[in-house]
Amino acid sequence: MLKKGIIIQGSANSKGNTNKAVVYFKDKTGFDFIDLKCKDIAPFDYEFKNKYDDFLPLIKDIAQQYEVIVFATPVYWYSMSGILKNFFDRISDCLMIEKETGRQFRGKKIGVISSSSDGQPIEGFEMPFRESANYLGMEYLGSAHTWVEEKELTIKAKERLTWLSEVTME
């Protein structure tokens, strides 16, 4: 029996603004949580010399256990964080040396939490998530863009996270 969901946080700050949104979302959903900053995940390597780092055990675990995956990332230079992009690049391992795991992603669902300096969603920010979901045979549920003012998540950010919690729990 698959567990409902997991939040995969990829921020350079484990307890920063992205994490504020994650904590709010986790409280609503009860989803499990992984902080990629605490994992040893090297960039993609065509020779797979990195295959004994934390990526393969982690991705196998996620594939076997969860129905919904929510990626949480700050906006760094109009894009997802480098930590999360490394994780996405390594999903290519699942198309090359770990195909059985790659196939297990079909039918699962993806959501996104983003955090930037203001409330304006970044044009094109969702595209890599939506298209990657599409490529892997997954369903893209949408994103909640958040920001923090005076160290607090804004009301609008909380509303967006509540919406995402509802669609991911359906």
Ligand X SMILES: Cc1cc2nc3c(=O)[nH]c(=O)nc-3n(C[C@H](O)[C@H](O)[C@H](O)COP(=O)(O)O)c2cc1C
CB of 80 to ligand X, least distance (A): 11
Question: With respect to ligand X, which residue has the nearer C-beta, 34 or 56?
Answer: 34
Question: Contact region for ligand X (CB under 6 A) — 96-104, 111-119, 125-133, 154-162?
Answer: 111-119
129: enclosing H helix or E strand: helix 127-135
For residue 12, state whether it binds ligand X (rule: CB under 6 A).
Answer: yes
Of 29, 116, 143, 165, the one binding ligand X by CB under 6 A: 116
For residue 168, state whether it binds ligand X (rule: CB under 6 A).
Answer: no
Q: How far is CA 96 from CA 72, 92, 100, 102, in A?
A: 26, 6, 10, 9
Q: How far is CA 111 from CA 25, 51, 141, in A?
A: 12, 27, 5
Q: Please, what's the largest Cα pairwise distance for the chain?
A: 47
Question: With respect to ligand X, which residue has the nearer C-beta, 76 or 88?
Answer: 76
Q: Which among 50, 131, 130, 44 is positioned nearest to 95, based on CA atoms?
A: 44
For residue 74, state whether it binds ligand X (rule: CB under 6 A).
Answer: yes
Interface ranges with ligand X (CB under 6 A): 11-13, 16-18, 74-78, 115-118, 148
